[in-house]
Amino acid sequence: MGIIKVGGDIRDTVSSLYLIKEPIKEYSSIKIGESGWTPLEQAVEEAAKKHDFLLVEGAMSAFTGLLNDNYKRPMSTAEVAAALGASTIIVVGCDKEGIEGALINTLNYVNILKRLGVNTTGVILNKLRVSYITDEIKQTMKNAFQNAGIELLGMVPRLDLEGRGMIPEIEIRYEDFGAQAIDAAEKYIDLDLLARVASPPLKVEIDYKGFMEKFKNLLTN
């Protein structure tokens, strides 16, 4: 398994690279705008030579940078996802607005991503407080996502890690973090279903200007 980061904030992916024991490579960062260093197609092509399964981590929200017309495209995670044509999994933090707010935001995201042509196939709910979530609530969520054309791949509770964690690459205890992260993935994410909804990247020619205009129209119409 290989991990690639969209954009240049490689600190975000240090912990992920630590889990798979892989150093930062030239293909580890996809260039968007003036952030990152390897063009999209080149990064994926090089990484695919060395790995059977690639996880491409987005930057900020899927749409961050999409309206910024000052730099060369792609400029957002949504554009990268559309250009790859591969399965897109939305990972949603539930610690700010609770599960209810996370559900509404996710369904809105899915709707817009799909209308933009992004191959959105699944969702993982992260940092979840699960004390009051019953089987009935879980089924309601699954039904809501299936009606939107995606699968609920996992519900991961918030992990309690010692340390402030304000500077992850310095303060996270990586052995503890790695053990808990792997345990959480195996326990709370349906990895078999994740593998089934995954699909290889396709070379898709994107009209980035048209992509941005379509996004604007979705916001106003």
Over the stretch 46-65, which tens digit does the pLDDT of each residue have?
Answer: 998 988 899 898 888 999 99
pLDDT score for 34:
82
Token pair for residue 146?
């299936």
User: 25 with 35: CB under 8 angstroms?
Assistant: no
Q: What is the pLDDT, as a whole number, of residue 176?
A: 76
pTM for the model stands at 0.87
Tell me, what's the pLDDT at 135?
92
| Ranges of each domain in the chain | 1-86+200-221, 91-184
The pLDDT value given to residue 163: 55
Say how far apart CA 7 and CA 57 lie, in whole Å.
Answer: 9
Residue numbers in the chain where pLDDT is lower than 70: 10-18, 161-172, 174
Q: Per residue in 168-198, pLDDT tens? A: 555 667 677 778 888 999 999 999 999 999 9
Cα separation, 73 vs 95, whole angstroms: 32
Per-residue confidence (pLDDT) for residue 192, from 0 to 100: 96
